[in-house]
């Protein structure tokens, strides 16, 4: 998992009033939980650009008060009207201690069912994953190349090493739905078998006629 660095400043004053002042100055109030004590700090809004506008999950190295803390995002709060980032909660990542994060799903390949006219429906775009720092994935790749119309990939189908997926095993991640333009999907082996059966039937009929 990649790490993004953020330079922060420890907050001298807490409360909504000081937080409003920080936001007007272009800063975002933040807090780090999970360690020996909660760390309250703020950082410029631009510091979070690479962290928010990315398809991957990241570790964050936060420097504040002369110390560096390794953490992951726990919660984000946005303004209901302007959609501006207003507050970030981080969870400190400690050696050997498991943390839980949301990891994006990356569907790999053009599904067979889509090639036959079906529609891909994505239900879960992120999965809840628990692991130590070494096992945290940036993204979970799922190959859907052979997925047919009417088939789905579920949480239980995902091979995971070094991390645990906390979503219910039966939950559907993605499925191929039929559509008006869908065509019949047959195996090449079935088609070959059908051709052989037709040929054998024709030969049998000819033999009967000759007799």
Any domain includes 194: no
Q: Residue 164: how many CB atoms within 10 A of its CB?
A: 12
Question: What pLDDT shows up at residue 186?
Answer: 64
Query: Encoding tokens for residue 167?
Result: 């979503």
Any domain includes 210: no
Structural domain containing residue 22:
3-94
Any domain includes 42: yes
pLDDT in tens, 28-86: 999 999 888 899 999 999 999 888 888 899 999 999 999 999 999 999 999 999 989 99
H, E, C per residue of 29-58: EEEEECCCCCEEEEEEHHHHHHHHCCCCCC
pLDDT in tens, 145-176: 999 999 999 999 998 888 999 999 999 999 99
83 in the same domain as 120 = no
Q: In the listed set 57, 76, 94, which residue is the last one of a domain according to the structure?
A: 94
Question: What pLDDT shows up at residue 162?
Answer: 86
107 in the same domain as 82 = no
87 in the same domain as 105 = no
The beta strand positions in 99-170, using DSSP E, are 99-108, 119-122, 126-131, 140-143, 152-154, 164-165
Q: In a 3-state reduction of DSSP, which class is residue 152? A: strand
């Amino acid at each position: 998992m990649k790490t993004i660095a953020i330079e922060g400043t420890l907050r001298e004053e807490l409360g909504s009033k000081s937080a409003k002042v920080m936001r007007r100055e272009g800063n975002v109030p933040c807090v780090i939980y999970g360690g020996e004590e909660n760390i309250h700090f703020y950082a410029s809004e631009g510091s979070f650009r690479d962290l928010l506008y990315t398809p991957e999950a990241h570790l964050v190295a936060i420097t504040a008060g002369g110390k560096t803390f390794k953490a992951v995002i726990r919660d984000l709060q946005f303004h209901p009207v302007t959609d501006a980032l207003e507050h970030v909660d981080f969870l400190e990542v400690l050696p050997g201690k498991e943390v839980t994060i949301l990891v994006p799903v990356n569907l790999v390949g053009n599904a067979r069912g889509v090639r036959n006219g079906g529609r891909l429906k994505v239900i879960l775009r992120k999965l809840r994953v628990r692991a130590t720092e070494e096992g945290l994935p940036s993204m979970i790749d799922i190959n859907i190349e052979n997925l047919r119309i009417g088939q789905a990939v579920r949480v239980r189908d995902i091979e995971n090493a070094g991390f645990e997926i906390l979503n219910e095993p039966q939950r559907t991640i993605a499925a191929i739905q039929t559509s008006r333009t869908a065509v019949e999907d047959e195996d090449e082996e079935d088609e070959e078998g059908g051709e052989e059966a037709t040929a054998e039937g024709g030969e049998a009929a000819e033999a009967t006629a000759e007799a």
